[in-house]
Amino acid sequence: METRLQGDKRSSLLYSETMKKSMIDISTVWQGIRGYLVVVSVGSRLRQEDFPPRIVEHPSDLIVSKGEPATLNCKAEGRPTPTVEWSKDGERVETDRDNPRSHRMLLPSGSLFFLRIVHGRRSKPDDGSYVCVARNYLGQAISHNASLEVASKSCWCVSVGGGVCVSQY
């Protein structure tokens, strides 16, 4: 006795009672942006093949006031799970993983959290162009650029029969 299960045009499963064997035929494998994903089921166990990283959430541009907290989001997937690093203006960003006293924290999701935005003469300012880079042994994925701008505080006075001062952030 022979049983044949036909999927779409790309796959089929054949089981032969007389030969006590099963055969699966997959003629097309899904190709992702940076690799292939093949899922093979052996008995009741499911096994996934390793694949290179890909960015599933890119960071967005931010405008933040000096001293305020901020987060640049980045999420990546891959197998094995990729490590994530950030670069600002082409240079690697130091986080709490490099220096426990850093005001920047690399979150488990891969996002970059700023305890407070720095913009001054005494330390390197946080404003600039950021990218996150996800890596595993199969390769790397780089996010879109995201700019972080420090909002400027300006004040001007207008005199119309009295002094009026307007602050803008």
The answer as to whether 158 is a domain residue is no
Q: Are residues 59 and 136 in the same domain?
A: yes
The answer as to whether 107 is a domain residue is yes
The pLDDT of residue 75: 98
Structural domain boundaries enclosing 138? 53-151
Q: What distance in Å separates the CA atoms of residue 98 and residue 91, rounded to the nearest whole number? A: 14
The answer as to whether 156 is a domain residue is no
**Model pLDDT for residues 100-135, shown as the tens digit of each residue:** 889 999 999 999 999 999 887 777 889 999 999 999
pLDDT at 52 over 90: yes
pLDDT at 8 over 90: no
The answer as to whether 78 is a domain residue is yes
**Model pLDDT for residues 120-129, shown as the tens digit of each residue:** 777 788 999 9
What percentage of residues in the chain have a pLDDT greater than 90?
51
The pLDDT of residue 120: 73
The answer as to whether 22 is a domain residue is yes
Residue 169's pLDDT band (cuts 50, 70, 90):
very low
The pLDDT of residue 19: 58
Q: Cα–Cα–Cα angle for 134, 138, 141, nearest 5°?
A: 30
Dump strand ranges (E) for 7-50.
11-16, 21-26, 30-31, 36-37, 39-42, 45-48
The pLDDT of residue 158: 57
Please enumerate in sequence order all residues whose Cβ is within 8 A of that of 30, keeping only pairs 6 or more positions apart, or say none.
36, 37
User: Which one is predicted more confidently, 5 or 73?
Assistant: 73
Q: Are residues 70 and 27 in the same domain?
A: no
Number of domains in the chain: 2
Q: Are 91 and 104 in contact (CB under 8 A)?
A: no
The 10 Å CB-count burial string (b at 16+, else e) for 80-111 is eebebbbbbeeeebebeeeeeeebbebeeebb
What percentage of residues in the chain have a pLDDT greater than 70?
62
Q: Are residues 73 and 147 in the same domain?
A: yes
The answer as to whether 99 is a domain residue is yes
Q: What distance in Å separates the CA atoms of residue 17 and residue 87, rounded to the nearest whole number? A: 59
